[in-house]
Protein backbone atom coordinates (compact mmCIF):
# COMPACT_ATOMS: atom_id res chain seq x y z
CA UNK A 1 0.00 0.00 0.00
CA UNK A 2 1.53 3.30 -0.98
CA UNK A 3 2.00 6.18 1.43
CA UNK A 4 0.12 8.49 -0.92
CA UNK A 5 -3.03 6.36 -0.69
CA UNK A 6 -5.87 7.66 1.47
CA UNK A 7 -5.69 6.65 5.14
CA UNK A 8 -8.73 4.34 4.97
CA UNK A 9 -7.15 2.42 2.07
CA UNK A 10 -3.85 2.13 3.93
CA UNK A 11 -5.61 0.72 7.00
CA UNK A 12 -7.56 -1.80 4.92
CA UNK A 13 -4.37 -2.76 3.08
CA UNK A 14 -2.51 -3.34 6.37
CA UNK A 15 -5.39 -5.39 7.73
CA UNK A 16 -5.29 -7.63 4.62
CA UNK A 17 -1.53 -8.04 4.94
CA UNK A 18 -1.93 -8.95 8.62
CA UNK A 19 -4.63 -11.52 7.80
CA UNK A 20 -2.44 -13.10 5.15
CA UNK A 21 0.43 -13.44 7.63
CA UNK A 22 -1.86 -14.92 10.29
CA UNK A 23 -3.43 -17.36 7.84
CA UNK A 24 -0.04 -18.42 6.50
CA UNK A 25 1.12 -19.14 10.04
CA UNK A 26 -1.89 -21.39 10.63
CA UNK A 27 -1.47 -23.36 7.39
CA UNK A 28 1.32 -25.92 7.44
CA UNK A 29 3.40 -25.85 4.32
CA UNK A 30 3.18 -29.26 2.65
CA UNK A 31 4.90 -29.81 -0.66
CA UNK A 32 2.71 -31.46 -3.27
CA UNK A 33 5.09 -34.41 -3.63
CA UNK A 34 4.52 -35.23 0.06
CA UNK A 35 0.88 -35.89 -0.77
CA UNK A 36 1.92 -38.66 -3.15
CA UNK A 37 4.38 -40.51 -0.94
CA UNK A 38 7.63 -38.55 -1.35
CA UNK A 39 8.07 -36.33 1.67
CA UNK A 40 11.87 -36.47 1.57
CA UNK A 41 12.16 -33.78 -1.06
CA UNK A 42 14.29 -35.89 -3.36
CA UNK A 43 13.91 -39.02 -5.46
CA UNK A 44 10.83 -40.36 -7.15
CA UNK A 45 10.08 -43.49 -5.14
CA UNK A 46 7.19 -43.48 -2.69
CA UNK A 47 8.15 -43.45 0.95
CA UNK A 48 7.21 -46.66 2.73
CA UNK A 49 5.16 -46.46 5.89
CA UNK A 50 4.36 -42.78 5.49
CA UNK A 51 0.63 -43.36 5.93
CA UNK A 52 0.11 -42.22 2.37
CA UNK A 53 -2.79 -43.96 0.63
CA UNK A 54 -1.17 -43.45 -2.78
CA UNK A 55 2.31 -44.68 -1.79
CA UNK A 56 1.85 -48.24 -3.06
CA UNK A 57 -0.43 -47.43 -5.99
CA UNK A 58 2.29 -48.28 -8.54
CA UNK A 59 2.91 -51.66 -6.89
CA UNK A 60 -0.80 -52.34 -6.73
CA UNK A 61 -1.26 -51.54 -10.42
CA UNK A 62 1.74 -53.71 -11.37
CA UNK A 63 0.36 -56.66 -9.39
CA UNK A 64 -3.05 -56.16 -11.00
CA UNK A 65 -1.50 -56.27 -14.48
CA UNK A 66 0.45 -59.44 -13.64
CA UNK A 67 -2.66 -61.13 -12.26
CA UNK A 68 -4.70 -60.13 -15.30
CA UNK A 69 -2.03 -61.54 -17.64
CA UNK A 70 -1.93 -64.79 -15.64
CA UNK A 71 -5.72 -65.16 -15.76
CA UNK A 72 -5.76 -64.53 -19.53
CA UNK A 73 -2.98 -67.06 -20.12
CA UNK A 74 -4.60 -69.72 -17.96
CA UNK A 75 -8.04 -69.12 -19.47
CA UNK A 76 -6.63 -69.50 -22.99
CA UNK A 77 -4.87 -72.72 -21.94
CA UNK A 78 -8.09 -74.11 -20.46
CA UNK A 79 -10.11 -73.17 -23.56
CA UNK A 80 -7.60 -74.95 -25.80
CA UNK A 81 -7.64 -77.96 -23.50
CA UNK A 82 -11.44 -78.06 -23.57
CA UNK A 83 -11.53 -77.76 -27.37
CA UNK A 84 -9.32 -80.87 -27.56
CA UNK A 85 -11.27 -82.86 -24.95
CA UNK A 86 -14.12 -85.13 -26.02
CA UNK A 87 -17.16 -86.02 -23.94
CA UNK A 88 -19.42 -88.91 -24.89
CA UNK A 89 -23.13 -89.24 -24.35
CA UNK A 90 -25.13 -92.41 -24.94
CA UNK A 91 -28.79 -93.20 -25.39
CA UNK A 92 -30.37 -95.35 -22.66
CA UNK A 93 -30.02 -98.52 -24.75
CA UNK A 94 -26.53 -97.46 -25.94
CA UNK A 95 -27.46 -97.69 -29.62
CA UNK A 96 -26.54 -94.02 -30.19
CA UNK A 97 -23.33 -92.26 -29.16
CA UNK A 98 -22.81 -88.47 -29.47
CA UNK A 99 -19.35 -86.94 -29.05
CA UNK A 100 -19.05 -83.30 -27.98
CA UNK A 101 -15.98 -81.15 -27.30
CA UNK A 102 -15.34 -79.40 -23.99
CA UNK A 103 -16.59 -76.15 -25.46
CA UNK A 104 -19.91 -77.78 -26.43
CA UNK A 105 -19.18 -78.26 -30.12
CA UNK A 106 -20.70 -81.48 -31.55
CA UNK A 107 -17.92 -83.70 -32.90
CA UNK A 108 -19.76 -86.77 -34.11
CA UNK A 109 -22.68 -89.18 -33.92
CA UNK A 110 -22.47 -92.97 -34.08
CA UNK A 111 -25.60 -95.07 -34.57
CA UNK A 112 -25.66 -98.84 -34.39
CA UNK A 113 -27.77 -100.95 -36.74
CA UNK A 114 -30.09 -101.69 -33.82
CA UNK A 115 -30.67 -97.94 -33.49
CA UNK A 116 -31.57 -97.61 -37.19
CA UNK A 117 -33.92 -100.55 -36.96
CA UNK A 118 -36.06 -98.79 -34.31
CA UNK A 119 -37.47 -96.33 -36.83
CA UNK A 120 -37.28 -92.61 -37.42
CA UNK A 121 -39.16 -91.30 -34.35
CA UNK A 122 -37.42 -93.63 -31.90
CA UNK A 123 -34.04 -92.78 -33.44
CA UNK A 124 -34.72 -89.05 -33.02
CA UNK A 125 -35.37 -89.61 -29.30
CA UNK A 126 -32.21 -91.71 -28.95
CA UNK A 127 -30.10 -89.01 -30.62
CA UNK A 128 -31.64 -86.36 -28.37
CA UNK A 129 -30.93 -88.44 -25.22
CA UNK A 130 -27.31 -88.98 -26.22
CA UNK A 131 -26.88 -85.31 -27.15
CA UNK A 132 -28.23 -84.11 -23.81
CA UNK A 133 -25.90 -86.43 -21.91
CA UNK A 134 -22.85 -85.38 -23.93
CA UNK A 135 -23.72 -81.71 -23.49
CA UNK A 136 -24.23 -82.14 -19.74
CA UNK A 137 -20.86 -83.87 -19.37
CA UNK A 138 -19.18 -81.20 -21.46
CA UNK A 139 -20.60 -78.35 -19.36
CA UNK A 140 -19.61 -80.12 -16.14
CA UNK A 141 -16.07 -80.63 -17.47
CA UNK A 142 -15.82 -76.94 -18.29
CA UNK A 143 -17.09 -75.94 -14.83
CA UNK A 144 -14.63 -78.30 -13.18
CA UNK A 145 -11.68 -76.75 -15.00
CA UNK A 146 -12.86 -73.21 -14.23
CA UNK A 147 -13.22 -74.13 -10.54
CA UNK A 148 -9.64 -75.38 -10.63
CA UNK A 149 -8.48 -72.10 -12.17
CA UNK A 150 -10.34 -70.04 -9.55
CA UNK A 151 -8.92 -72.18 -6.77
CA UNK A 152 -5.35 -71.86 -8.10
CA UNK A 153 -5.78 -68.06 -8.11
CA UNK A 154 -7.16 -68.08 -4.57
CA UNK A 155 -10.57 -66.80 -5.61
CA UNK A 156 -13.66 -67.73 -3.57
CA UNK A 157 -15.90 -70.45 -4.97
CA UNK A 158 -18.97 -69.17 -6.80
CA UNK A 159 -22.32 -70.79 -6.02
CA UNK A 160 -23.48 -73.02 -8.85
CA UNK A 161 -19.99 -73.52 -10.24
Domain residue extents for the chain: 85-152
pLDDT score recorded for residue 10: 55
In this prediction, residues 4-16 reach a mean pLDDT of 58
**DSSP β-bridge partners for residue 98:** 89, 109
pTM above 0.85, yes or no: no
For 83-118, the pLDDT digits (tens) are 999 999 999 999 999 999 999 999 999 999 999 999
Cα 21 to Cα 148: distance, rounded to the nearest angstrom: 65
Q: Determine which of 75-79, 81-85, 101-105, 157-161 has the lowest per-residue pLDDT on average.
A: 157-161
pLDDT score recorded for residue 151: 86
pLDDT score recorded for residue 43: 47
- Residue bearing the bigger pLDDT, 123 or 20: 123
- Topology of the domain covering 85-152: Ybab; Chain: A; (3.30.1310)
- Model confidence at 46: pLDDT above 50: no
Contact 50, 37 (CB under 8 A): yes
As a dihedral over the C-alpha atoms of residue 29, residue 31, residue 34, residue 38, rounded to 10 degrees, the angle is -140
pLDDT score recorded for residue 6: 57
In this prediction, residues 44-59 reach a mean pLDDT of 61
Contact 73, 149 (CB under 8 A): no
- Model confidence at 75: pLDDT above 50: yes
Please, is 50 exposed, middle or buried when counting C-beta atoms within 10 Å of its C-beta (0-12, 13-18, 19+)? middle
Contact 87, 144 (CB under 8 A): no
The number of residues in the chain equals: 161
Percent of the chain with pLDDT over 70: 65
Cα 103 to Cα 121: distance, rounded to the nearest angstrom: 29
- In terms of phi and psi (left: phi > 0; alpha: psi -120 to 50; beta: otherwise), the region of 114 is alpha
- Residue bearing the bigger pLDDT, 9 or 141: 141
Mean pLDDT computed over every residue of the chain: 78
pLDDT score recorded for residue 7: 54
Contact 1, 9 (CB under 8 A): yes
- Model confidence at 73: pLDDT above 80: yes
Amino acid sequence: VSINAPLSRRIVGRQLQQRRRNTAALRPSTPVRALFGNNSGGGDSPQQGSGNPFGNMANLMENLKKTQALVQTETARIQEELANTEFEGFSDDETVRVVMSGNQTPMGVDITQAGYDQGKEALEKLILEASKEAHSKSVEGMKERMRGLAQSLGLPQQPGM
